[in-house]
Structure formats: structure tokens, C-alpha cells
Chains A and B, each alone.
Chain A
Amino acid sequence: MKITRRTALKGTAGAFALGLGGVHWDMRHAGAQAVKRGGHFNFAISAETPQYDPHGSDTYATLHFSAPFYSTLLRYNLAKFPEVEGDLAASWTVAPDLMSYTFKLHPNVKFHDGQTLTSADVKATYDRLRNPPQGVVSTRRATFSDIASIETPDASTVVFKMKAANSSMLDHFASPWNTVYSAKDLAENAAGPRSKINGTGPFTFVEHVKGSHVSGKRNENYFKKGLPYLETYRGIFTLQAAAMLNALQGGQVLAEFRGVSPAERDRMVAAMGDRLRVEESSWTLNLLVAFNVEKKPFDDVRVRKALLMAIDRWGGSRGLSRISTLRSVGGVVRPGSPLATPEAELAKLPGFSKDIKKAREEARKLLKDAGHENLKFTLWNRNLAMPYTPAGVFLVDQWRQIGVTVDHKQSDTGPYIAAMRSGNYEVAIDFSNLFNDDPTLAMTKFLSHSKNPLNMSRANDEEIDKLYELQLRERDVEKRKVHIRALEKRLFDQAYQQPLLWWHRIVLSHKTVMGWQMSPSHNLGAQLEGVWLNT
């Protein structure tokens, strides 16, 4: 039995949460400045959710809409990301063999309709997530497949028993998508949360005017005494960046929490000067280049490898980061995060060489050996301006430099996904939308196509599957890193697919908006409980 550094860190977080149980929540959020209570906060949401249930969603639009109304068992401590902290859980313990997780819930937590939250509600929520009834979508069902059973020894204790050790479980419990619902509500209508909101979050639902806005007001019975600070808020749907920026400049909205491009940031800085706060972070999103191994000549590893080696990521990062949200060079885990491959090690892998001249010479030789010196193919891409178009144009140019001709085809999301699913493409720009730095989540994309149809290379590789499983079950962080590195090396040596660049997040807000915490994911920190207005 081993207590790893990661487990210990998370255990400390649990103890921290327990230790601070009696401390007023204000002290953790306010910082040095005196908090001003009340006020109305308008912010922009750049997409509108089709439904309210985060269990069945993967878009931030659902979280920016629903998160203020709900609580989760754990959540990320954004000031110390990726450390987790309790939300509904006042404390928790993890068995040293990772075969059980015991959560103690905060007392006196009330749903907005007055029901008292008990362990039965958490159990019903997680049962719905791992085994959704007919008519309910749970997009993270596979995430909880290692749970054997959920027990509720008393009204404030929940115990998750595992079938197998899973080193990512605490991250899964901290997922912002796993909002806790009332067992009674779910028994009445399991699909209810799609269209009806009843949570335990800091704000209560007021109205959703389709195509216009969602609004909430302070939950007077919120279990974290003293929170939230705001009296009311309105999330206004501004689907076009230009309209959002005008609204921000004119003070109609005070913030937008997904992110903007460098050009948009520069425009707003010039227009608003020191009234504007700019916060930046690396982002848990990346674009990938994927080769369809079922199409010739991409069944030849030499061709795939040559194309990866021709990409000057380091130079591209400098240029693209000025015009797009693409910036960081990284492997399968977000660069800079605890399990990421260090730069020096990364530079030795195919596609990451800092000597681009030499790499391209080698790429040309590989293409010649494979008999494809004058290769021509079509690159499929989504027709989203930021950052897909600059990424596609960049790739076309990179491959041109080794004599390859590329037709850049951009299409709507519908036809794009249809082409990816049917395998009717040669090379594609794929994307990873992650909410944390957990490598399991990031590497699911690389599992054999037979196990995961979302593997855009459509490759089946038992070696990768084995390494994925090894890192998932490994409790020792250092040993886990070894498996992750080995998987990464195998993936890049075989050149099935590879991250092009990781995104860079830029969030703009008026300086009057206080208490919001920047993080590497736009899916996190949407609860607004610590936000207040310094007006």
C-alpha cells in the first residue's frame, strides 16, 4: 500500500477543508480587500446551452449557464490548480489501495426547493452518471465504470467502492460536470434536470429567456455562510465576438469567462486602458494533427512521420501566438502541468525538434524512401476562425516546405464530424477539450479505434492500450510518469496523431469585478460564488 505524492497532496486538501470547516468563507475569498456585498453583475456567455443538465453535456455553455445553481462533491482549488478541495464534501478519505473513497458531507445543505441534501442524493446522482436510465444522456458514463458500488452508511456519508484502482478518480469527483441532484427529483423524472433546475448552488434560478439571457439571484440558504456576495446576476448570450467586445467596452457586460484572441485583447486594451483587467493562462485545450491510417499513403509510418517532422512548432508558436489562441508546445499532457513532458525531453521526440532544417531534410528523405516525394492530400478542418483557420493555414505552409501540396478543406461541425466518423478523410485537425490535467482524460483519444471510435487516426495499437491501462492503475506518480512518457513516445514514433499546439487563455473583465479566479480551463470556476463588485 502506497501513499503517493498526489494522493498525499489531495489528502492535505481534504484535511485543509476539514480544518477550515468553522472558518467564515469570506476569509478565503476576500483576500486583502474588504468585500462589498450585493449588486447586480452582467457577464457575457458566448454560447447558449441547448439544455440545463451538465451530466449530458460537454460544452462550457452548459456550465456557464448551470454551474451557479449547483454544487459538486469535490472541485478544483483554482488558486492551487490542480489541487482539489471539497464542495459538498466537508472531508474525504481515500483508501491507500485506492479501492474506496469515503466522503463526509457538509451538514444543513438545502436544495433550492427546501429539501435537505443527504448521501442518498449523491448516490442517486452518481448512479445516474454511471448507469443512466432510459432517456437520460450521461456523456461521462465510461469515466465511472470502475465504481463497483455506492454505499450510504448514514445521511452524511457516501462510500464509493471500486472494482479496480483508478488513479484519476479524485479528478473525476472534482469534475464540474458532475452536479448533484435531488434523489427525489430524479425518482420523479430522471430526465428532469435537462429542463428544470433545482440545485444546492450559490444562486437560485430566476429565468432563461431563450436566445437572450439566464439570470440568478443569491441563494439565502447557501450552505457556505456569507456566500455568495452578489445579489443578482445575468449571463447574457453574446454569440458574436464583436458584439461581446462592444458590450464589454460599453459596460453592458463586465466580463466574459471563456476567452478571447490576442487581437481582441489588444483592441480592448487600447480602447479601455486601465479600466480593463487582462488575465492569461495556458489552456487545457489543444489542436491535434491526425492521419487516417486506413487511407493510403498514411498507412505508411514514414509518410506520417515525415509530415510531423516538417512542422516547426517552436517557430510556429511564436508566430501563431500573436494572431491566435494557439501558443504552447507540448505533448499529450498540458505543458507546465505536473505530469507533462519537460521541454528538453520533448525536443527529442519526432515532430518537436528545435533544428527544423535538419528535421525537414530527414522528412524529405522519409517521403522519398516511401515513394511519395510529391505528395498531395486534403486536410480537413472545422470552419471556425479561431484558432482552426490559422492552424490549417500554418500546416499547409509547413508541409509546402517539404514539397507536399495540401488542399485545405474547412467545413461546418456537422459535416466535419460526419466525415470523421465515416473515416472519409486523409488528414484532419482534431481537438481536445479537457477540463483538467489528468492524463487519462487526455489520452483516451489515443486508445485503439476498436476501443474508442473517437480515435481520429483510426489506428489499433495494443502497445498504446497497454500503456494507457498501466498509467491508469499506477498509484506511484513517478512510475505513472514513466508509463505516460512511454505512451507518448509510442504515439509519436508511430505518428498516428500529435498535438499541434496547446491553446492560451485570455480573459477580459472590468477591474470592478473582483473575486473571480483564473484557471487553465474555461469549464472551471463558473459558480460565481466568490465574485463581487468593487463599485
Chain B
Amino acid sequence: MLRYTINRVLLMIPTLLGVAVLVFFMLRVVPGDIVEVKLRGDGGNVTQEVIDSERKRLGLDRPLLTQFGEWMVNMAKGDFGISMWTERPVMEEIMLRLELSLQVALMATFIAVLLAVPMGTLAALFRDTWIDYLVRILTIGGLSIPSFWFGMLLMLSLLAFFNWLPPITFTPIYVDPWENFKQLIWPAMAVGYRYCSVVARMIRSSLLEVLNEDYIRTARAKGVYEKLVISRHALRNALLPAITVIGLEFTFLIGGLVVTEQVFNLNGIGQLFVQSVSRNDFMLIQGMVMLIAGFYVFVNLIIDLLYAVFDPRIRYDT
């Protein structure tokens, strides 16, 4: 198990290095200059001299390899640089939004898992009954309806029926938990519905597959209680692919809620990502890509380790 873990951790390094090289050089191919977007984007009549001096001040006039080397060295020291748009540290910009994004992702995951496990299990156990049909209808609905649209429906319904809307500015959970809950529960529900549908369908199909396995038939033949057959033998194995989906969906939610964040006016990582791309803020984009890549790699590591916990064959193979 230790060797397996070390292998997985070591694999993270070349992956993140590859991401760093790709993101740095690919961004430089994109046409556009942050200084011009900043000073001329709103029709500003600034001279080329001003543009050039600003580019120099931001270090954009230096050779690409110098910029890359400096970025890598600083990153190794934990310094992700300065946002070229706001001129504040990249990590400060990210951390400000990460708290909100992480909380929405956690709340959505909680909602999704809480609903998906019983829904998927019941649908598989009562296959082709009204329960199964109901779960299938609900989950197909969840997959078909875009989260942002569902979010808009939620907002408009709150407005139309209760003449109330969730708070428009973020209050951290440690400042006022109720205010925080009132704002974030709605986006968490909007994305949690789709998330829950994906996981419930995955659990249903893998549980159906597992229920036909020989070891389940053997357990039943031995006279093991049905509840134990389901919980200890079937569900434990059926959850393996669901864990992968939960992990990937969770990571996606950190930076992928662009439109949902816009609908709820949330100051999250997704919005920051889109804004920094449209402004050509390379340093901030690089910082966020590295952060999200780091999340993916880390979550995948956790999934791999969980696989090893749930499936002894993996441990024995390595």
C-alpha cells in the first residue's frame, strides 16, 4: 500500500510540470495584450508610449523563457505572482473566491450524495417498478436541465412566489452561518440536482451489474440476510465507479460553475476564470489552471487510494 501511494504521489510531479509548460506557452499564442485591453478596452485614447511603459512595468517586454523561468522558480517557492489586471497577488485573488467555490462544491456534493445513494439503490433493487421509473425520470430531468437554467427557475420562483431573493453579497460561514446558508443553498441545489442525477444513475447501473455477480448469488445461497447482501457485498462494490464520478464532479464544481455563478451573482472561481481569460491576465489564468490541475491530481490520488481501500486486488497487484 505504501509503495502504491508513493508511486501515485510521484506521478503528480510530471503531470503538474506538463500542465505548467502547456498553460504558459499556449496562453502566449493567444492574440491580445492585457495592457491594451486595460487601457484601450473602453475606448481609451492612450498613446503607444503609455502602452509600452506599462508593458515594461509589468515585465511583459522580457523574453518568454525568462518570464517562464521566473514563474517556475517563484512557484516552487509558493509565489504564484501578481495578477496583471489588479496587480494584487494571484493567490490573494484566488483564495478570496476559493472559499465560496469550495463551500458550494461541498454543499452540492453533500446534497448529491445524500440523495443519489438511496435513489440509485432503490431504483436498482426495484428495477422496472414505479420506483425505478420515478428515479429514472427525475435523473434524466437532472441530466437534461442545465444547472444554470434550473438556478434561474429557482431564483424567479423565489421572486414570483415569495418576493424574496437570496443575499447578493457573500457572507463567510464563520461570520453569519444563517446568512451564508441563505445565499449558498440555492446554487448548491441547482448544481446538486444534476450532480445527484449523474451519481444516482451510476449507482443504479453498477448495482444492477453487481447484483448479477456469482458472489452475490453465493451469499444469498448461503442464507445471508438480504440487507447484508446489499450493504456489505453489493453496494460496497457498486460504489467504486460512483466514487470516481463524485470525485471528478467535485473538482469540476470548483472552477466550472461559471454560468451558475453568474445567475446567482456569486464571486467564485468560475467567474474569475472567465474574466481573466477575457482580459488576457496570463498570471492569474496560470495560477488558476495550476490550482485546478492540482485539485484534479489530488482528488484522483484520493480516488486511487480509496479504490485500494475498497478493492484489495489493487493493493495486491502493486
Contacts and interface: CB of A to CB of B under 8 A. Distances in A.
Interface in B1-46: 30-34, 36-46
Interface stretch (A7-15, A101-109, A136-144, A311-319): A136-144
A244 B155 CA distance: 12
B164 interface: yes
Contact of A414 (B32, B165, B167, B267): B32
- Report the interface size class on chain B: 35 or more
B169 A249 contact: no
Interface stretch (B115-123, B138-146, B272-280, B286-294): B272-280
A88 B68 CA distance: 48
Given A236-B169, A242-B152, A445-B45, A210 B85 contact: no
Give the interface SS of chain A, mostly helix, strand, loop or mixed.
mixed
A240 interface: yes
Contacts of A141: 47, 50
A421 interface: yes
Contacts of A432: 43
A293 interface: no
A156 interface: no
A60 B42 contact: yes
B151 to A, nearest CB: 10
Given A253-B168, A412-B32, A417-B33, A243 B265 contact: yes
Nearest to B277: A412
A135 B53 CA distance: 8
Contacts of A142: 45, 47
A210 B31 contact: no
Given A139-B46, A444-B45, A212 B32 contact: no
A413 B50 contact: no
B66 interface: no
B96 A247 contact: no
B318 interface: no
Contact of B36 (A56, A213, A418): A418
A454 B168 contact: no
A47 to B, nearest CB: 9
B154 to A, nearest CB: 11
A24 B263 CA distance: 44
Contacts of A137: 39, 46, 50, 53-54
B97 interface: yes
A386 interface: no
Contact of A246 (B33, B44, B53, B155): B155
10 contacts: A138-B50, A209-B96, A238-B265, A239-B271, A246-B159, A250-B159, A414-B34, A414-B279, A418-B32, A419-B31
Interface of A: 50-51, 56-60, 134-135, 137-139, 141-142, 194-195, 209-213, 234, 236-240, 242-244, 246-247, 249-250, 252-253, 412-415, 417-419, 421, 431-433, 441, 444-445, 452-454
Interface of B: 30-34, 36-48, 50, 53-54, 57, 85-88, 93, 96-97, 152, 155-156, 159, 163-165, 167-170, 262-265, 267, 271-272, 275, 278-280
The 3 closest A-B pairs by CB, nearest first: A414-B32, A58-B44, A433-B43
